[in-house]
Structure 1
Amino acid sequence: MTDPLRLAFAEVHRSRPRALVSPFGRVHRPGPLHLVPGARTDLGSAPPAPFWAVTADVARIDPGAGVALGVAGPGGSVLLRRAPDGDRWLVEVSGVVVCSAPLPPEPAHRVAVVGNENQVTVLTAPAGSSDEGSWRPLVTEREAVRRVLDLRRADVLAGLRFVVEADGTGTVELADLLAGSFGAAGVRDPQVVTTTDGRPLVRDGRLLLTMTCAGLGFFQQAHWGVWALDPADPGSLEQVGELFSRRDGLVLGDHAGHVVVDEDTGVATVLVSTWGDHDPGRGVHVRAVRTTADVLLGTHVLGTERVDLPTEVSAWDPTLARVGGRWHLGFVECPSFGPPRYEFHPALAATDDPDPLRGLRRVGGDPGRSQTEGTVWQRFGDGWYLLASDGDARTYPVYDAQLRERGLLQAPYGTNIPHPMVVPAAGAWWVVTFDGTPWGDDVLGYGTHGDLVVMRADPPGRPSLRARAGAVRRRLTRGA
């Protein structure tokens, strides 16, 4: 039996999954595109959620010509516009200018307009660049946008189309045009998709996991994605799905949750945290839905219901496992949103009911910790353990199924509060996690963080990667 306390992890990979446009709902018009003044070009349907992006490689705008790109429909519009002979990019929401940014000094450049919830961001990059890291945010706005139009409303989203148009006189030439669902500024909150017996779900040789897709702003600007990963080849990480929540007449980017699939019935139990409309006054709670839809592939907007957890305070980071024949639901509870800071710790509930979401009773909590989240169930041999991450102590506490602390995971602790998503694969144990590296935070503020970090531990009794590398070096040295 593997003892999680004896595993020693070391970092083996770090990267930044990042893309303004995701693989979903893509519309690509390679150039050159010559826009006719006075005519609007319909590029196709926008996503069913307020998370989208339109990018254009601007080759030429003649004097007297203007251009606009974005989304428009019967319920309203968001357009990034450069007026004829204008010297700024303007963000118009249903015809009202809500913010602007100066044009880059280079006549040819890439420009993007991104919608994340009710926040709209303008970015620019060098002409012809294909590096997602080359995008630079110029301006972002939320309050003025939502005063004009709530982009989360189902009636506003209905009928939205991607559009581009030219006005004035002269020629507008685009070298490339790309639109689709928004991708991610980074990733965080990993949770491997599991089966009802606790095995990681594998398709085509790759683990499936959910991760939060960091947006261009705070938690409301993030959403939830499904990813495929071979831990032995982390560079092959691919986003294969995106999940949104429908509640109270709104479509939201709720995230930080867990998907459990019953392979016999095809039913997926989806648990998620309500970060999509978070503010401290409203708090956060856990919601769920059970569905036969293949939520692990493509775009889904899911209606969810609140889970009746045995806690009187806010809760997030649900993780579900059947331990000893009983369903156990780990989560994080938050007794205070401050000031001066949020206070949160692990908690655990269990039920004797065959329905994992019914009849949950409290097993316990760990109120002695106040910056601990990222609860993750994992089975090591025949034993189940609840793992978490303590941002104050910078450690990963390991609990048993009674929420009794058994020790600490031996793994490097990075920045932010990295979740200890431990999983067995390819003959080794892995931690898939994230860190607090931001992107564009001088303009966008807190919330864009999330490098992908992968760590590895060999099973006890086998030499570690570091030990094997040292042995190779010694042999080479002797041979020299």
Structure 2
Amino acid sequence: MEGGIGRRTLLRGAGAAAALPAVLGSPHVAAAAEPGATPFDLHFGVTHKYRPFDLVAPRFVQYDSALTPAPPAAADTLVTTGVRPRAPFGSVLVEVLGTDPGGTVVAGLAGGGTSVLGTVDPSAGRATIEVTTNGATTVVKTADVRVVGAFRLAVVVNENAVTVLVDPTGTGTGWQPVLTERDRVRALVDLRVPDVLGRLDYAYGGRGAVRLGRVRAGYFGQAGVRDPHLVQHADGRPFIRDGKLYLTMTNAGLGFFQQAHWAVWTLDLADPTRLEQVAVLFFARDGVVLGDHAGQIVYDDRTGRFILLMSSWGDFDFKGVHVRHATTRADVLSGVHVIPTQRLPLPTAVSSWDPALTRVDGRWRLAFVESEAQQPAFVFHPALAAGPRGADYAESLTLVGADRTVDQTEGTIIQRVGGEWYLFASDGDARNYPVYDLAMRKLGTLDAPYGTNIPHPMLVQVGREWWMITFDGTQYAEPVLGYGGHGDLVLMRAR
């Protein structure tokens, strides 16, 4: 974990069916591993490290004033765009050409007498977050801000957290968060409730004299990425289409775990710096829409369905975490989806997360993390369950074993190297990657650099090389946003 604040330290005190053949009908992976190879023959080194960062995901822009006729934002005007997100994870980005004294720029969500807005008044040097409900407006937070002349304003919603950012350079490359607030917003309005969010459009405008340029709005992208997991077939083969590897990652939000959400990405095997988000996944449960994340997508060729497994971090409040699941024939590898889920019946009486599913020798094997405590400190270790031969993935799972000698170990991955299957994990205390067989016997550790945070060892064979796709604990704007805005994408290679 970066900056001396890790998870343990921090918490001690505290749709329609898709045309699947187009997705599935191409080669998936290159040469098979040498039969005698083992994980201990692999010696990894870091080859790429970079930070994906987008306040609006490039493929998921929903509104662009340069393309959509709209009235200009003049004095005391709030433009409602008629466009809204399906989940409370969206951003409005405004080019501000200038303001007269007293002029205030506003942006956010509004409709039906309710609004959640961020504002910036350059002449007063003041930014606010305000919520209007039932005809009453409450300023829930203020902060000092310094911008002169042209600048850019962004207002981001992640779950019920609202964040105001400015880019004093006016280029869109120098975003600085000014203030953020979740609890006081939630006390007035719950953006997770579909009936509430369904009345709110992306909105922008001005109070007093403001001069605005281009405005864009759409689904929030990410402040960083973590928890990479291959999208795979039931037998472990990864999806590779048009030379691109499909994987899921947790998109870090502007704050803690509830502000993150889940997305599908592609990684260009010819150029690992070409990472592109191609789908956004949200989950409906308990009457709200959440950004549950840290899971896996498996395509089951026998039944023609996608199996989605994810962890219930979307409403985490230090009272437990569990694994959830859903199946669908919709193409979840593209577009925006809101999917109902159920709790997965795992053979554990404690919390669980980081599911990893593969069908081996006719039996579903499901690795996961067991956690008997999340406060005053997190305690967690890897475990493995299996179902009977011929049973479905969620049927009659029994515990194969768990490594209770460790208490900071997560990131479970099931992968075959050579002719054998292994369970890989990440030990934050020992700062290494333990390797287990499918009886949960520890065999050793991977030879790979161990960075900050608890990086997951997502292994995949690419030709004659093995790659490990992982992440680190590099934070984004932690003094304003707090813990949760990590990390950088890290790629390692081994021959």
Secondary structure of 1:387 counterpart:
strand
What is aligned with 1:13? 48
Q: Distance in 2 between matches of 1:315 and 1:59?
A: 49
Structure 2 CA distance for partners of 1:84 and 1:202, relative to 1, 3 Å: closer
Q: Distance in 2 between matches of 1:263 and 1:221?
A: 33
What displacement does 1:239 show? 0.5
The normalised TM-score by structure 2 is 0.88
What displacement does 1:67 show? 3.1
1:135 corresponds to which of 164, 170, 175: 175
The normalised TM-score by structure 1 is 0.91
Say if 1:257 and 1:273, in contact at 8 Å, map to a contact too: yes
2:342 corresponds to which of 292, 297, 305: 305
What displacement does 1:75 show? 7.4
2:90 corresponds to which of 52, 56, 65: 52
CA RMSD of aligned residues (A): 1.8
What displacement does 1:360 show? 0.4
What is aligned with 1:387? 424
Letter in 1 for 2:56: V
Q: Distance in 2 between matches of 1:44 and 1:9?
A: 50
What is aligned with 2:204? 164
What displacement does 1:387 show? 0.3
Q: Distance in 2 between matches of 1:445 and 1:102?
A: 18
Say if 1:33 and 1:174, in contact at 8 Å, map to a contact too: no
Is 1:342 aligned with 2:382? no
Instruction: Point out where structure 2 has 5 or more consecutive residues left out of the alignment.
Output: 1-34
Q: Distance in 2 between matches of 1:158 and 1:453?
A: 38
Give runs of aligned pairs for residues 36-185 of structure 1, distance below 5 A: 36-74=74-112, 76-82=114-120, 86-94=124-132, 95-131=137-173, 134-168=174-208, 170=209, 172-185=210-223
Give runs of aligned pairs for residues 467-478 of structure 1, distance below 5 A: none
Say if 1:9 and 1:411, in contact at 8 Å, map to a contact too: yes
Q: Distance in 1 between matches of 2:404 and 2:368?
A: 13
What is aligned with 2:62? 26
Say if 2:122 and 2:148, in contact at 8 Å, map to a contact too: no
What displacement does 1:404 show? 0.9
Q: Distance in 2 between matches of 1:332 and 1:240?
A: 28
Partner deviation per Cα, 1:2-55 (whole Å, 9 max, x = no partner)? 211110011000000011111214322249984233443232322111111111
Say if 1:345 and 1:365, in contact at 8 Å, map to a contact too: yes
Task: State the aligned residue count.
Answer: 452
What is aligned with 1:294? 331
Q: Distance in 2 between matches of 1:64 and 1:138?
A: 19
What is aligned with 2:399? 362
Say if 1:345 and 1:370, in contact at 8 Å, map to a contact too: yes
Is 1:262 aligned with 2:300? yes
Instruction: Point out where structure 1 has 5 or more consecutive residues left out of the alignment.
Output: 459-480
Is 1:396 aligned with 2:433? yes
Secondary structure of 1:45 counterpart:
coil
Q: Distance in 2 between matches of 1:323 and 1:189?
A: 23
What is aligned with 1:470? none
Partner deviation per Cα, 1:161-188 (whole Å, 9 max, x = no partner)? 11122333x4x21232121111000000
What is aligned with 2:310? 272
Q: Distance in 2 between matches of 1:404 and 1:79?
A: 54
Say if 1:349 and 1:363, in contact at 8 Å, map to a contact too: yes
1:410 corresponds to which of 447, 454, 464: 447
What displacement does 1:130 show? 3.4
Letter in 2 for 1:5: F
What displacement does 1:333 show? 0.4
What displacement does 1:61 show? 1.3
Secondary structure of 2:314 counterpart:
helix
What is aligned with 2:11? none
Secondary structure of 1:260 counterpart:
strand
Farther off after superposition, 95-104 or 249-258: 95-104
Say if 1:77 and 1:93, in contact at 8 Å, map to a contact too: yes
Partner deviation per Cα, 1:208-253 (whole Å, 9 max, x = no partner)? 0000000111111111011000244121000011111100111111
Say if 2:53 and 2:224, in contact at 8 Å, map to a contact too: yes
What is aligned with 1:425? 462
Q: Distance in 2 between matches of 1:318 and 1:411?
A: 22
